[in-house]
Amino acid sequence: MFDKFKEEKGGEMMEERIEENVSVEESVEPSANSESTIGIGELMGKRAKLEEAIDYVGLMIKNLKDKRTMLEKDIEEESVDIKNLKEKLQKVSEYIDEENRGIQQLADKRMKVENEADEVATIINNLRDKLSGIDTIVGDEGNRVKQIKESRDSVEN
């Protein structure tokens, strides 16, 4: 990786010139040996593995963010569904209350009609008793008239 750079006296890294390539290639072999002795190759391998691990963790984080976003969306949809359901249930509750009031009004009306029917039945019974009394009186008077006629007829005969 650093083969094309050469350290000069000032400590700066500068790009090699083409004419010096031959001497550098010869010096690369000893530096490759020195790299493996000090473990640079291993460090580069570890760095590559760490970069892969970081990429993997980044992918996991992205997946977690996506899942969280999906959950937030699902929760929002459920929230909307629950609010709609709550509104529908409130309307049903209002309808039930209205129907209960209507049923109570009908029950009150029916009770009034029953009371009126009882009053009418009482009036009818009273009138029947009066008519019965009148019928008895008429019958008694009819019998008296008959007796009077019979007694007159028998006196005349």
pLDDT, one tens digit per residue, over 57-78 is 999 999 999 999 999 999 999 9
Residue 20 lies in a domain: yes
Q: Domain check: are 29 and 88 in the same one?
A: no
Residues 86, 130, single domain; the answer is yes
Please check whether residue 30 lies inside any domain of the structure: yes
Residue 117 lies in a domain: yes
By the 8 A CB rule, do 147 and 155 touch?
A: no
Range of the domain at 32: 1-38
Q: Are residues 122 and 81 in the same domain?
A: yes
Tens of pLDDT, residues 82-123? 999 999 999 999 999 999 999 999 999 999 999 999 999 999
Which comes out higher in pLDDT, residue 20 or 107?
107
Burial of 35 from C-beta contacts in 10 A (0-12 / 13-18 / 19+): middle
The answer to the question of residue 119 being in a domain is yes
Q: Are 32 and 3 in contact (CB under 8 A)?
A: no
Q: Which H or E element spans position 140?
A: helix 40-156
| One domain, residues 80 and 122 | yes
Could you tell me if residue 50 is inside a domain?
no
pTM for the full model?
A: 0.45
Assess if residue 84 is contained within a domain.
yes
Clarify whether residues 29 and 78 are in a common domain.
no
Cβ neighbour number for residue 31 with a 10 Å cutoff? 13
Q: Are 33 and 22 in contact (CB under 8 A)?
A: no
Q: How many domains does the chain have?
A: 2
- How confident is the model at residue 36, as a pLDDT? 57
Q: Say if residue 133 is in the same domain as residue 72.
A: yes
